[in-house]
A and B are shown apart, each in its own frame.
Chain A
Amino acid sequence: MSGLTPFIRALGAVVWKDLRAEWRSRELISAMLVFALLVILIFNFALELESTVRANVTAGVLWVTFTFAGQLGLNRSMAVEKDRGCLDGLLLAPVDRAAIYLGKTLANWVFMLLVAIIVLPIYSVLYNTNLFIPGLLLTILLGSEGYVAVGTLLSSMAVQARTRDILLPILLFPVAIPVLVAAVKATGGYLQGLDINEIRPWINLLITYDVIFTAVAFMVFDSVVEE
C-alpha cells in the first residue's frame, strides 16, 4: 500500500471496509434483493400483460425496481456510518474527504450492480424477455452510477436529520429524474430493437449526467458533511 497515493489508499480502504462489513452481515444486499424480487413479482401478477406489451413496460419496471432497491441501500449504507459515530471517525481521518465520498459511491455502486446481476435473469424468466443485450447492460452500468453518485451525496446530507428515512427519497428522486428518464428510454430502445442513432442521445445524456453529478458531488462533499 505504501507506494499508492494517500487519495487512492484512503479510497481503497473505504471500499474494502464497506465490502468486508457487508460480506459479514449481508444486511444491505439481502434487504435490497428481497425488495427487488418482491417488486418484480408483484408487477408480474398485477399487470398480467400480453407478451407484446411486456416488452414496452419492462424498462419502466426494471428501473422502478433498481431505483427503490438502490434507495434502500443508500439509506442503510450511511445509517451504518452514523449510528455508531463512524462517520465522525471517517471525517477525523487526515485524508481528502473526496476520497471518502468516492469510496462510499464505489461500494454503493457495487451493491446496486450485484442486485442487478441477480434480478436480471429472474426477470428474464418471469417476463419471458431477453435482457442480456450489451447495450442494455451498458445502460444499467451508466444509470446506476449516476444514481448512486447523487444518492451517496444526498444520503450523507439526509443522515444528519432525524427523519433521514423519509428525507432521502424526497431529496433524491427529483434530482435523479434526468438519469432515470434517460435510463428508461435507452433501456426501452434496446428492448424494442430501435436503431442505435435513436438510442444514442439518451446514452449521451446518461454519460453527461454521470460526469457532471459525480464531479459536483466530489467537490461539495466536504461542505455537505461539515457541521
Chain B
Amino acid sequence: MTAIIEVSRLVKRFGPKVVLRQLDFRVESGEFVALLGPNGAGKTTFLRILSSLSRPTLGNVSVAGFSLPHQAANVRRRLGVVSHLPLLYGDLSAEENLLFYGRMYAVDNLARRMDEVLEQVGLTSRRRDLVRTFSRGMQQRLAIGRAILHDPEVLLLDEPHTGLDQDACDMLDAALRQVAVRGRTVVMTSHDLSRTEDLATRFDVLARGMIQGSIQRQDIARDGLLGYYRQTLEQAQNNSKNHRPEAAP
C-alpha cells in the first residue's frame, strides 16, 4: 500500500503556544483513520494543516504526493472537507450551493454529477429549497455532497457529528458509509468514540500535540476502544509528568 498522507516532525505554533510538536502521521491509500483526542489536543489544527487552510510552522506534510504549503492548489483539488460548520450558503438552494462549488472545482458534467450527489445524500426532493430551511442533519448531508462533488481522493472530516441529535447522527453515518467512505481515504477527528468505532479501520490518539498511540480495528475487542483510548491518554499524561515536555524547535 502507498502512503497518501505523510507527515513528519510537524510543529505548529500560535505565538508562544505550541499546539503540535514533532507530530508524525502516515495514512495508506483507502484507510479510514479516526483521530481521537480530548478537546484542545490539536485535532482541528492538524486537519486545517492537512487541508491547506493553515501553514505548518515546521515539518513536512504531503497529501496525494504533493507537499504543503507549496503545492496547495494540487492538494485542494484532491481533497474534500466536512467540518462541524456546513460551509454552505443559507440563502442559496441545495442545488445552487452545489452549482457554485462545482464551478469552483471545475467539475465536468456538473448537472449530471449534481443529480448523482443529491440522490446519494437523499436530498433530491429538497434540491430547490433554501439551505437555511434545512435541519442541521440535512445540512450536514448536503455538506458531504459538497465535499464529494469533485470526487476527491481524500476526505477530511472534522467533528462532523457536532450538534446533531441521535437520528441525525445515524443518518449522517449512513450517508458516510454509502457515499463518502467507498474507495476513499478518510481522516476523521472525533471525541465521540462510539460514533467512530463502527466507521474507522484505524484509531490514532492525539494528545499533547503528538500521536500517542495507534491501533488497527482488528486489534481491539468490540468494546475495547474506550479502554485503549483511556490507557493511551493516561500513558501520555504519565510521560509528561516524568519527563520535561520536549520543547518544539
Contacts and interface: CB of A to CB of B under 8 A. Distances in A.
Interface string A10-25: 1011001100111011
A227 B50 CA distance: 13
Nearest to B104: A93
Contacts of A93: 76, 101, 104-105
A94 interface: yes
A65 B79 CA distance: 44
Contacts, number: 77
A24 B128 CA distance: 13
A1 B76 CA distance: 21
B53 A92 contact: yes
Contact of B103 (A10, A22, A86, A227): A10
**Interface bracket on B:** 20 to 34
A226 B55 contact: yes
Contacts of A88: 53, 81, 83, 85, 87
A92 B75 CA distance: 9
A27 to B, nearest CB: 8
Contacts of A20: 91-92, 96
Contacts of B103: 1, 9-10, 12-13, 16
A84 B87 contact: yes
Contact of A9 (B48, B87, B106): B106
B95 to A, nearest CB: 12
A13 B83 contact: no
Contacts of B77: 94
Given A13-B104, A17-B92, A94-B105, A84 B85 contact: yes
Contact of B104 (A25, A84, A95): A95
A6 B104 CA distance: 8
B7 interface: no
A92 B79 contact: yes
**Interface bracket on A:** 20 to 34
Contacts of A92: 51-53, 76, 79, 81, 87
A80 B106 CA distance: 24
B105 A16 contact: no
Greatest chain B CB density within 10 A among A13, A16, A80 is at A13
Interface in B99-117: 100-101, 103-106
Contacts of A94: 73-74, 76-77, 104-105
Nearest to B110: A1
Contact of B54 (A12, A84, A95, A227): A227
A220 interface: no
Nearest to B92: A21
Nearest to A9: B103
Given A9-B103, A93-B76, A86 B89 contact: yes
B85 A85 contact: yes
Nearest to A22: B91
B104 A10 contact: yes
Contacts of A226: 54-55
A88 B232 CA distance: 32
A91 B79 CA distance: 12
A193 interface: no
A89 interface: yes
Q: Which 3 A-B pairs have the closest CB atoms?
A: A85-B85, A89-B87, A93-B104
19 contacts: A9-B103, A12-B103, A13-B104, A17-B92, A17-B96, A20-B96, A21-B89, A21-B92, A24-B91, A24-B130, A86-B87, A86-B88, A88-B81, A88-B85, A89-B87, A94-B74, A94-B76, A94-B77, A95-B73
Interface of B: 48, 51-55, 73-74, 76-77, 79, 81, 83, 85-92, 96, 100-101, 103-106, 130, 146
Given A84-B90, A93-B105, 16 more contacts: A13-B104, A16-B100, A17-B96, A84-B87, A85-B85, A86-B87, A86-B89, A88-B81, A88-B87, A89-B101, A89-B146, A90-B104, A91-B53, A92-B87, A94-B104, A95-B104
